[in-house]
Structure 1
Amino acid sequence: MSNSTNDTLRVALFFGGVSSEHEVSCVSAAAWVRALSAEPCRSKYEVVRVGITKDGRWLRFDGSADAMADGSWEQDASCRPCVLSPDRGDHGLLEFAPDGTVTRIRIDVAAPVLHGKNGEDGTIQGLFEVAGIPYVGCGVLASAVCMDKAVANTMMDASGVPHCRWCWAPAEEADDPEALCSRVESVLSYPIFVKPANAGSSVGISKAADREALKKAVRVALAEDTKVVFEEFIDGQEVECAAFGNPETGVTVTRPGEILAGAEFYTYDDKYKNGVSQVLIPARLSEEKLDEVASLAKKAFLALGCTGLSRCDFFVEKGTGRVLCNELNTLPGFTAISMYPKLMEHDGVGFSDLVDRLIGLALAKRKGAY
């Protein structure tokens, strides 16, 4: 299994990971496997699946998509320890058999279907760069920038992408919680959203209505990261666009869809587990406002240096109609209830075709750099 055939490309699909979104990654990757087994992908790609356990072990897995989705893949007899070799001569994986035999598995392109830390934050993207392997999605810098809300907000401010009022603090400042709260209260009015700067979808986020709640929210956020971000509450519609493409060859953005959250705000469970939130495509906005959101999504995508794909999240404030960028997610969910594939499907790009196009963008991105 050292080389792919002349007629197919070998795609290494990475899933799981050590982040708080491990389970969602497994479900997203299972959807990718099913998509890759259908046309137009089935005749074009050979798939190698690399699962990363919560404690950071890398295992090549040959079992079913269902086993990936339900988490039982780790106990499958097909699992073999492996690593991604940084040696460009290997251009792929090293797999270790029980007898000590090492097999080199050359791969043509990597698809890191990994959410959160160590997956969409630029870390594994850097490993792919060192190994000289093309990969799906944003590059090292854009991945890191979009993952860090304090850095992303700063760049959006500098680029003229409208955003809500905000501030941030390092963990050390929380040693004096009263002083920290006083500083935040001088900038923002209650209620205040409190977020870890670096964490996955809605993990560690709280809505604080007073100082005691604010202090508790800071502790919750700092359990996930060493920086905390504070943002003003925006009473508005939550809308999202799917951005697709590379800046060199053109970026397209879908009309926005709308999230009707099942809780007070759009939680991690709403996004990935309980499915109680509702999705409307297109969002309940005027044609002019739909165009404005899409235009700003493209502006944010380019300003933050994104390539391949991103889900661009916005608020449209009630009363004023202000369009404010919330964040860009560089590897959004690909589950059955995820917004990104739903938006692309609404624009006529089915799941298998979407996966095929994303791999094509990876191979075309900065052609010659690998």
Structure 2
Amino acid sequence: MVTAQNETSFLRSVLMESWPVELDRLWHRYGGEEEAWTLKDINLQLKTGELVGLLGPSGCGKTTLLRLIAGFEYPSQGVVRLHGNDVASSHVRLAPERRGVGMVFQDYALFPHLNAWDNTCFGLRRGQDTSRASWLIELLGLTDLKGRYPHELSGGQRQRLALARALAPAPSVLLLDEPFSNLDVEVRLRLRSELPGVLSACGASGLLVTHDPEEALAICGRVAILRDGHLHQCDTPRQLVEAPATPFVGRFVLQRNVLPVWRGESMSLLHCLLGDLEIPEQQRSMALPEDATVLIDPALIDLDPDPAGDACVMGREFLGRSWLYRIQIGDQQLRLIRPLAEDHQRGLRCRLSLQQNSEVLLHPQCLSLQVLS
């Protein structure tokens, strides 16, 4: 149990230099031992003023991770620490309201009986200065809506109000569960660009769940990639692009195509479905595991219409300045980005090739290979 002395020690430690958030060998599952793990051996730290993105497919454990930090769930194994203090473990359970953590829920979780202003100020102590709440109301475009109740606001306005309420008490840690998903484009772009600066100015750390890799890479200092409860990688956007830790990271975050590679008779070459790849001279004696793959940028694959071709256009999306094609070749479905002038219809037979002298990334070695043909 958490005693008054424990709580005092915890509050004082906020002033000490330590990780604002530290997850140490964290495991979690809902229900008994027969249930599957939702999170498996998670190790993650946040620095003061840092914004970390959480990316992964639906059901991978992103929201559960936020709830564990906030105190709405408790770990099955491992420890949650805030500012160096255990707040959740097998024998410690600090209540959510004592953790100094703010949270923006995907479903808003606003108080229906309070207007926008009172919702924003709800977490402030009696008599506390409301100037920060006023600034947030203005920043989020709610100045003319302060007297309205949640049911009188649009979905986007309610999400903005939820963000204002979470930030008003100046928490040391802010947890955000897809906070921009219901905002219009202009406000979303403005808020996401300002969020890291706001957190830094407040000395707060943020953990942002988003379904949008572009958003996470654009505004987060680091991005953590989850899949099936495993943390695949947590790195800066540049490190994720240059050295993805697993093929899943390359495919999900960077939208790369993943193809198997194999060795032929020559020690200087590797082969894949789309062409030959040259191994750097100093690496030609390396061992090649059976599951070796290459990650290929969709923009580096050429498409040539051919009635006798071994590939077929399965679909396409208009991206504004280019087409995104889905191409079936053998048992592989690839993504290609081609100029608008290359206007191909569904069902077209074609041949694919890698652009000569371009580079692909060999995994697991994270080695750049040059395309020969």
Do both share a fold (TM > 0.5)?
no
In the superposition, the TM-score normalised over structure 1's length comes to 0.24
Larger strand fraction of residues: 2
Greater RCO, CA 8 A, separation 6+: 1
Larger helix fraction of residues: 1
Larger radius of gyration: 2
